[in-house]
Structure 1
Amino acid sequence: MIDSLDRRKMLLALGALAGSAIAAPAQVSTGTKAGDDHMRQMMAIPPDAPKIAMLMYPKMVALDLIDPMTVFTILRSRIGLVWKDKTPVSTDIGIPIGATQTFDECPRDLDVLFVPGGIMGSIDVMGDASVLAFLADRGARAKWVTSICTGGLVLGAAGLLNGYNATAHWAVTDLLPLLGARHVDQRVVTDRNRVTGAGATAGLDFALALAVRLRGEEEARRVQLVLEYAPAPPFTSGTPSEAGPARVAEARSKRTWMDAQARRAAEEAGRRLGINASGAE
């Protein structure tokens, strides 16, 4: 069993590897010189480390952020968690997470711009001019413009998916055409320099696919091994086609109001962007 001290060391190491994306002291001591030297080597961010900006916002899904962030951390990337200010934002699991960079502090030229999901938070930022301006600005120059889950709607609202193939959480993929995107029913969709992922757990698949582009297949395979990512769910019910019509209908019946709000936000964004689409796939 891992005791609390060991857990703290692991979290500190993760924070240091992420370029201080998680608050951590400047140095992590293992109690021995050899151990400290090893930790410093593990934490060192190489000069050519990818620069990755991960948008944060209130009411986001924590898993949407943590899954890909873990992959990017093992890749020893230079990660910035970005929001308007550094006040911790709320998440779906009740654990607040604080940004490490404001919009103004975020580098202008990025290797990766990433947007997580969380439907109610996504709806809010789809109409937030400052968020959309930030995404449009950085997205215009980023090597890779990416999202998972309802973060795809946010990218679309910023005008960054118009004319691209894309995906998002299954419950809102019908809204992508309202934002100029063509929905492709795949877990991860790559179209030129846009990479979008489906619902929350697709964050690992998305990040590993992007890791190949950033560091090569062998390095991506190493990350998968480190994470022991070999999914074997107890049920075959993770997509609408697997779950079947009855379960999908039941799931949709519990989110009618939320999905209506998302459609309204997508329609408003589409009008603002001058996109003429019916929303039908």
Structure 2
Amino acid sequence: MSPKTLRIGVLLELVQLSDIMGIDLFGNLSASYLNQVLPLDPKFGVFTPHAMNIEFFYIASSLEPATTTPPNASLPNSIGGFRFLPNVTYDDCPRDLDIILIGGPLPTHRPEAADRFMKEAWGKTRVWMTTCIGSLWLASTGLLEGKKVTTNKEFLPVARAGFPGTEWVYQRWVVDEKPYEGGDGKGELWTAGGAGAGIDMIARYCLDNFDKEFVNIMALEGLEFNPGGQAGQFYPVKEGERRVIV
């Protein structure tokens, strides 16, 4: 049986929009989504016992419309044309969530409130996930010292030079333990490479933690994701080599 409630925080201010698309997988496992699907095909009712009440916390510096990528090419010096409406600020967001996902922000995006939030929530939220250079954002807080993690493979040399106390691994995603003050399991740190690796990482997390048939039917087959196929946890080429897609 899946847990009946799940609270997910998403740091997506000034991030690559594709980095956080994995939250759609969680969304497809929600009771609200299932209830929308049932009128189309009642057969999905067999998954009702597994559907969860999911609350998303879209976190930013203020509650004003915030910017992500892609940029708006029609505006000079624009850093983003797509805007989302945050529902909580770094200062006001609960620290004891179930999952926190960090997308890859612009390298200059390091607001003090975000730094403070990550440090205060680090031990209180059991599962942390990063995609792309979101791990560099988290590493800038000092929280990844001694941890085994990854980032976008193109930025591994930068990560190793900037944060030598962290073990940066050439993998599509990496799982390590992290401190956790709660009593409902061990802390988990999931870090991924580029956006596609991040989606596959979240798919694997869902398969490992929720009913597999429910995840496959509701979240993976419909969106045509395949985390166990050619897009598994490891790159098909050695570090420094490039895979040519034709």
TM-score (norm: length of structure 1): 0.61
Deviation at 1:216, TM superposition (A): 4.4
How has the CA–CA distance of structure 1 residues 226 and 160 changed in structure 2, closer, same or farther, with 3 Å as cutoff? farther
Distance 2:167 2:215 in 1: 28
The aligned residue for residue 68 of structure 2 is 91
For residues 182 and 172 of structure 1, the distance between their equivalents in structure 2, rounded to whole angstroms, comes to: 14
Match of 1:62 in 2: 17
Residue identity matched to 2:101: F
- Structure 2 residue 114 is the aligned partner of structure 1 residue 131: yes
* Residue equivalent to 2:196: 201
**Corresponding residue for 1:183?**
168
In 2, Cα distance between the equivalents of 1:210 and 1:132? Answer: 26
Aligned structure 1 segments of 4 or more residues deviating by more than 6 angstroms: none
Q: Residues 52 and 80 of structure 1 are in contact (CA less than 8 Å); yes or no, is this contact kept in structure 2? A: yes
Question: Aligned partners of 2:65 and 2:168: how far apart in 1?
Answer: 33
Query: Percent identity between the aligned chains?
Result: 23
Q: Which runs of 5+ in 1 are unaligned?
A: 1-45, 245-281
String of CA shifts for 1:166-217, please: whole Å, max 9, x gaps.
1111121123333332111111110121100101222211211221344244
Deviations along 1:89-147, one digit per CA (max 9) or x if unpaired, are: 222222111211112332221111111014xx2x2234x32211111111221111110
Higher share of residues assigned strand: 2
Tell me, yes or no, if structure 1 residue 71 matches structure 2 residue 25. yes
Q: Does 1:171 align with 2:154?
A: yes
Rg larger in structure: 1
1:57-111 CA-to-partner distances (Å, cap 9, x unmatched) read: 22x211112x211112112232111112122222222211121111233222111
Distance in 2 of aligned mates of 1:130 and 1:146: 19
Question: Partners of 1:166 and 1:103 in 2: how far apart?
Answer: 24
Over aligned residue pairs, what C-alpha RMSD do you find?
Answer: 2.7
**Greater relative CO, 1 or 2 (CA 8 Å, sep 6+):** 2
Gaps of 5+ in 2: 31-53, 71-80, 178-187
Offset at 1:47?
A: 7.6
Aligned residue pairs total 191
From 62, 78, 97, the counterpart of 1:110:
97
